[in-house]
């Protein structure tokens, strides 16, 4: 999420939406500001468009290149597989 992403909080929202839909998602920490890698599908691109989220469609070769680049121990980057949406429960303060 570099300067091409106009609203970073919305990008986190699409990641949460993808997890709730049980989609495979990887968080690319410190890559372009912390990007998400989600397999391309019509529902994902439609939801991004509706929410005003910037996205790029990349090839499998580009994806593999990015993952290889951030796997280098010389850089402070990583790919973290996110597996399920967080459930929060709020309790009133006394």
What does 3-69 look like in DSSP terms, one character per residue?
TT-S-HHHHHHHHHHHHHTT--EEEEETSTTTEEE----HHHHHHHHHHT-------HHHHHHHHHH
If one counts the domains in the chain, the total is: 1
Q: Is residue 87 included in any domain, yes or no?
A: no
Q: Is residue 51 included in any domain, yes or no?
A: yes
Q: Is residue 89 included in any domain, yes or no?
A: no
Tell me the residue range of the domain where 17 lies: 8-82
Q: Is residue 92 included in any domain, yes or no?
A: no
Q: Is residue 42 included in any domain, yes or no?
A: yes
Q: What is the pTM of this model?
A: 0.74
Q: Is residue 15 included in any domain, yes or no?
A: yes
Tens-digit pLDDT profile for residues 10-69: 888 898 899 999 898 999 988 888 789 999 999 999 999 999 888 999 999 999 999 999
pLDDT category at 2 given cuts 50, 70, 90 is very low
């Amino acid at each position: 999420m570099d300067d091409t992403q106009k609203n970073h909080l919305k990008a986190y929202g699409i990641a949460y939406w993808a997890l709730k839909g049980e989609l495979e998602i990887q968080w690319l920490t410190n890559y372009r500001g912390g990007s998400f890698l989600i397999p391309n599908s019509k529902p994902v691109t439609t939801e991004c468009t509706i929410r005003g989220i910037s996205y790029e469609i990349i090839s499998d070769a580009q994806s593999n290149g990015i993952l290889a680049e951030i796997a280098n121990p010389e850089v402070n980057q990583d790919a973290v597989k996110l597996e399920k949406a967080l459930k929060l429960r709020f309790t009133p303060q006394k």
